[in-house]
Amino acid sequence: MPREVLMSEARSNLSKLVDEVRMRTRDIIIRIRESPAAVLMNMERYTRLTQIEDKLLAIELRDALKGGTRPLEKVLEELKLDV
């Protein structure tokens, strides 16, 4: 379960929070008032998540292009991607 902190605490303790995230695999959710605003996570986890996202995008693009030739812009628009 991720830890949650308010923006004011994150601002005051950013160095400590970064160290905490680097040493553990637990993410920290930063909240502004009652709403989640950002997530602080270690670099290894971020890298893994972006690699997964890239692979999923490649699969979606491949599937969207199957069965015929379609303009890339149209495929990206259907997938709601801004590139």
- For 64, half-sphere exposure in the C-beta direction (CA atoms, 13 angstrom radius) is 18
> Rounded to two decimals, what is the model's pTM?
0.68
Give the pLDDT band of residue 83 (cuts 50, 70, 90): low
Give the pLDDT band of residue 77 (cuts 50, 70, 90): confident
Is a pLDDT exceeding 80 seen at residue 76?
Answer: no
Rg of the chain on CA atoms, in Å = 18
Report the chain's terminal Cα–Cα distance, integer Å. Answer: 33
